[in-house]
A and B are shown apart, each in its own frame.
Chain A
Amino acid sequence: QVQLVQSGSELKKPGASVKVSCKASGYTFTSYAMNWVRQAPGQGLEWMGWINTNTGNPTYAQGFTGRFVFSLDTSVSTAYLQISSLKAEDTAVYYCAREGPLGQWLVPWGQGTLVTVSS
């Protein structure tokens, strides 16, 4: 079945970097775009952007330029989110979510990766 499995929770100090992975299985990885969504503690869902898994071209939503980088390793069907110069306000659960088969809805979702930034 179509599945996205994300890497485990991370605890980082301010100023450090983190790289979250999202491994896809059950479908042709390069046929569907991958999206990233952030959810701060107790807050709603915030779309971060998406990456074209065929070309590797990323598109970042407003507020997610500069320190956020989407990348791919198509040889292992994995998408990555890297965040540099971490701040306390980056503490959140980060989800990867695949584009739906017929349009811009998100299905399935990874299980989420909690990134905690604390000194």
Chain B
Amino acid sequence: DIQMTQSPSSLSASVGDRVTITCQASQDISNYLNWYQQKPGKAPKLLIYDASNLETGVPSRFSGSGSGTDFTFTISSLQPEDIATYYCQQYDNLLGITFGPGTKVDIK
């Protein structure tokens, strides 16, 4: 199994702050890493695919980077509507999909 870890598990930041979340895979997953946003009571929404590609319609303050085992997700300027839990997700041809445990983002 490929294990995914995320840090931090939660964070609190002010509006306008730069927020960074990291995701680490237990083995090399190339760039098969995606990021989702889930607001309370809602379905997850794809933000970033293949590590660094912004999904259509997603604000440009969201970005992703990394390859291999280490990945970063950034919100360049936190907005009140960004309050959510963020999940990384990897894909492996043989083993399928694994999600990270999530990072809850709050406003300070």
Contact = CB atoms under 8 A, between A and B. Distances in A.
A104 interface: yes
A62 B36 CA distance: 22
Interface string A89-119: 0000001010010111111111110000000
A112 B97 contact: no
B46 A105 contact: yes
Interface stretch (A42-50, A66-74, A77-85): A42-50
A103 B101 CA distance: 22
Contacts of A111: 43
Q: Is the interface of B mostly helix, strand, loop or mixed?
A: strand
Interface residues of A, number: 25
A113 B55 CA distance: 25
Interface of A: 35, 37, 44-47, 49-50, 59, 61-62, 95, 97, 100, 102-112
Given A45-B87, A103-B49, 4 more contacts: A45-B99, A49-B96, A103-B32, A105-B46
